[in-house]
Chain A
Amino acid sequence: MLLNQFLLLGAVLFCTGVYGVLARRNAVLVLMSIELILNAVNINLLAFGAMHGEAAAVASQVFALFVITVAAAEVGVGLAIVLLIYRNRTSVDLDQVDLMRG
């Protein structure tokens, strides 16, 4: 297998995630797009880990595990924030969350 087939798949996932973050209005959907970006990161890490020998393979797996753990914490916090906002204004539409300007 080529290294680049994994990396290019990672690039596709990353760019899809970036598009989602830019184009989506619903806060939960933006969170999902960010998960795509984090998965792209993990594919990159593990592919590079398989490339560089055993020390890098272990380091890349540990890195990927930390990314997954932190992603779980982030989503938990994000959901709490989304609920908080929904309770106050019954909407999670990001275009409406714009009281302050300038």
Chain B
Amino acid sequence: MDVLSGPVAGVFRAPDVDYHAFAPELVLVAVLVAVLVVDLVLEGRGRRLVGGLAGIGLLAAMVPVLTLAVDGANRSMVGGAYVVDDFALVFKGLFLIAGYVTMLLSSDYLADDDYYEGEYYFLLLSSVLGMMVMASSRDLISIFVALELLSIPAYMLAGWRKRDLKGNEATLKYYLLGVFATGVMLYGMSLIFGITGETVLTEIGSKLQGPGASLPLVSLGIVFVIVGFAFKISAVPFHSWAPDTYEGAPTPITAFLSVASKAGGFVALMQLVFIGFLGRDDVWQPMFWVLAALTMTVGNLIALRQTNIVRMLAYSSVAQAGYMLLPFAVAGDLAKGPGAAMGPMTTYLLIYAAMNLGAFALVLAVARKTRSGEIASYGGLFEYAPGLTVLMSIFVFALAGIPPLGGWYGKLVVFKTLLDANTPWAIVLGVIAAVNSVIALYYYASVAREMWMRPVPDGDTTPVRVPAGLTAALSLCAVATVVIGVYPQVVARFGDLAVFSLLP
């Protein structure tokens, strides 16, 4: 058989590429290759330079995101498999900013110890690139590949403290469970592909509205896909990796995983559920109901008895994922159509990103002095670091949802969605969520009590020295948290934008 001179030779047409639409990703690819080459040429002498280059690159990629937003047109490429719309742009912006804050957190952390630095930034940028692609991916193959690009660098970054046994454990658990979850998700995708014969989500969506969509096989495929992503967003009962990985990984990476990686999972879920699986809300709605209820309750109850601040924040971020799942659980009952659930989810994710990144930045700042992650080590923080104490109080009370700090607005829109649905199940879920908010207030407040009321454990009241990068990250997150709390319209606007224009 002669393949070269076969009948297909010569019919290939190069695809038309809309370079403006791909510009954010292309800038990021250029920067990550530049980081690798500069690090190689300078052989570790230009550490600051590499970090600066990576940071500037992330900001540079923001420019085309903004020009695309100003332009405003929905760009749909390769038959709808890759779409740049407002939804994608809102999340691309979030991923770039979260990546930049992680970069700010990392620079001093890496300099303190003998870590590989150029490769660290390279992997971080690769993971952000995966998230950027994820925000635009509207077919099964792109979603799978983007998921892997955002996950695989993250598996390795989790183990960056190579000689630390907890770091080793963090990376191994994250890797094995992540790869297993990907396998389960792929099996589900293969079933969905088998029923519909399509990989593009809009096509799958229209086929799953039609006859044959009620097959148990479709339900099973949807369940497998959602289970796969439930690992990614650390929803109970698929959360077991999260606390161990968060504790063992370098703290900047923990911040990155708990915000950006989780948001990446939510973006993929929203695209799959609200475009592909829209017609089968009888399957995913009860599933998300159970996931949301379990995730909130278990996350909060275990967070109550943590003594380590990173583990507490890990369980708190598990619980926060539960609140974000709430709109999914009632999406099918909304009068304005399931798409109306996307605005609240996006709003919550954006607010959560600001407050959670801030909380981890503060943990990093305090750990520079105390060298400890125990909540008890925060005793009397107010006596020697009043500024940090005020900031940490802002972040924990924002996470708890106390007005006028950012978090309350996220909770408000989510609860409002539950009320809009107005079914018995939605009300029950609302009650569970409200009880959970009260439980959560207890452990968030206990951190504040430690800082404001308790004595300094070892009597050492030398001030904490916070380097410039961390200060910048802290102020960025604090300003965002407070401004969103006072003027929630800012973030509500983004939430409204992030509803697919192509929804029926």
**Direct touch of chains A and B (CB < 8 A):** yes
Instruction: Verify if B481 is at the interface (C-beta below 8 Å from A).
Output: no
State which of A37, A77, A98 has its C-beta within 8 Å of the C-beta of B169.
Answer: A98
B180–A34 CB distance below 8 A: yes
State which of B152, B163, B176 has its C-beta within 8 Å of the C-beta of A73.
Answer: B152
Instruction: Verify if A84 is at the interface (C-beta below 8 Å from B).
Output: yes
A14–B169 CB distance below 8 A: no
B168–A74 CB distance below 8 A: no
Q: Which residues of chain A are within 8 angstroms of B171 by Cβ–Cβ distance? A: 81, 84
A67–B152 CB distance below 8 A: no
Q: Which residues of chain B are within 8 angstroms of A17 by Cβ–Cβ distance? A: 183
* CB-defined A-B contacts under 8 Å, sample of 7: A44-B190, A59-B199, A70-B148, A84-B162, A84-B171, A89-B165, A102-B311
Q: Which residues of chain A are within 8 angstroms of B141 by Cβ–Cβ distance? A: 59, 62-63, 66
Q: Which residues of chain A are within 8 angstroms of B306 by Cβ–Cβ distance? A: 102
Instruction: Give chain B nearest CB distance to A20 CB in angstroms.
Output: 10
Q: Which residues of chain B are within 8 angstroms of A10 by Cβ–Cβ distance? A: 190
Q: Which residues of chain A are within 8 angstroms of B109 by Cβ–Cβ distance? A: none
Mask of B285-327 contacts with A, CB within 8 angstroms, 1/0? 0000000000000000010011000010000000000000000
Instruction: Give chain B nearest CB distance to A79 CB in angstroms.
Output: 11
Report Cα–Cα, A45/B141, bound state, in Å: 12
**Which of B159, B180, B190, B199 neighbours the largest number of chain A CB atoms within 10 Å of its CB?**
B190
- A56-B197, A56-B198, A81-B159 known; A41 and B176 CB under 8 Å? no
Residue of B with least CB distance to A7: B194
B172–A97 CB distance below 8 A: yes
- A-side residues, CB < 8 A to B, are 7, 10, 14, 17, 21, 27, 30-31, 34, 37-38, 40-41, 44-45, 47-48, 51-53, 55-56, 59-60, 62-63, 66-67, 70, 73-74, 77-78, 80-82, 84-85, 88-89, 94, 97-100, 102
A77–B175 CB distance below 8 A: yes
Report Cα–Cα, A53/B168, bound state, in Å: 47
- A21-B180, A44-B194, A66-B141 known; A99 and B169 CB under 8 Å? yes
Instruction: Verify if B140 is at the interface (C-beta below 8 Å from A).
Output: yes
Residue of A with least CB distance to B246: A100
State which of A56, A77, A82, A99 has its C-beta within 8 Å of the C-beta of B152.
Answer: A77
- B-side residues, CB < 8 A to A, are 140-141, 144-145, 148, 152, 155-156, 159, 162-163, 165-166, 168-169, 171-173, 175-176, 179-180, 182-184, 186-187, 189-191, 193-194, 197-199, 243-244, 247-248, 302, 305-306, 311
Q: Which 5 A-B pairs have the closest CB atoms?
A: A52-B197, A48-B194, A37-B183, A44-B190, A56-B197
Q: Which residues of chain B are within 8 angstroms of A85 by Cβ–Cβ distance? A: 168-169, 172
State which of B162, B165, B176, B186 has its C-beta within 8 Å of the C-beta of A67.
Answer: B186
Report Cα–Cα, A10/B243, bound state, in Å: 34
Residue of A with least CB distance to B302: A102
B183–A100 CB distance below 8 A: no
Q: Which residues of chain B are within 8 angstroms of A102 by Cβ–Cβ distance? A: 243, 302, 305-306, 311
Q: Which residues of chain B are within 8 angstroms of A40 by Cβ–Cβ distance? A: 187
Q: Which residues of chain B are within 8 angstroms of A81 by Cβ–Cβ distance? A: 155-156, 159, 168, 171-172, 175
A60–B193 CB distance below 8 A: yes
A44–B187 CB distance below 8 A: yes
Instruction: Give chain A nearest CB distance to B127 CB in angstroms.
Output: 13
Q: Which residues of chain A are within 8 angstroms of B199 by Cβ–Cβ distance? A: 59, 63
A88–B183 CB distance below 8 A: no
State which of A31, A48, A55, A84 has its C-beta within 8 Å of the C-beta of B168.
Answer: A84
B193–A27 CB distance below 8 A: no
B176–A30 CB distance below 8 A: yes
Report Cα–Cα, A62/B198, bound state, in Å: 13
Q: Which residues of chain A are within 8 angstroms of B243 by Cβ–Cβ distance? A: 100, 102
Q: Which residues of chain B are within 8 angstroms of A41 by Cβ–Cβ distance? A: 183, 186-187, 189-190
B159–A84 CB distance below 8 A: yes
- A21-B180, A99-B166 known; A45 and B190 CB under 8 Å? yes
A88–B193 CB distance below 8 A: no
Report Cα–Cα, A83/B490, bound state, in Å: 48
A14–B187 CB distance below 8 A: yes
Report Cα–Cα, A102/B301, bound state, in Å: 11
Q: Which residues of chain A are within 8 angstroms of B182 by Cβ–Cβ distance? A: 74
11 extra A-B contacts, CB within 8 A, seeds A7-B194, A37-B180, A78-B175? A21-B180, A40-B187, A48-B197, A55-B197, A63-B144, A70-B145, A73-B152, A74-B148, A74-B152, A84-B168, A89-B165
**Which of B169, B187, B243, B247 neighbours the largest number of chain A CB atoms within 10 Å of its CB?**
B187
Residue of B with least CB distance to A33: B180
B179–A78 CB distance below 8 A: yes
Report Cα–Cα, A98/B166, bound state, in Å: 9
State which of A34, A55, A60 has its C-beta within 8 Å of the C-beta of B183.
Answer: A34
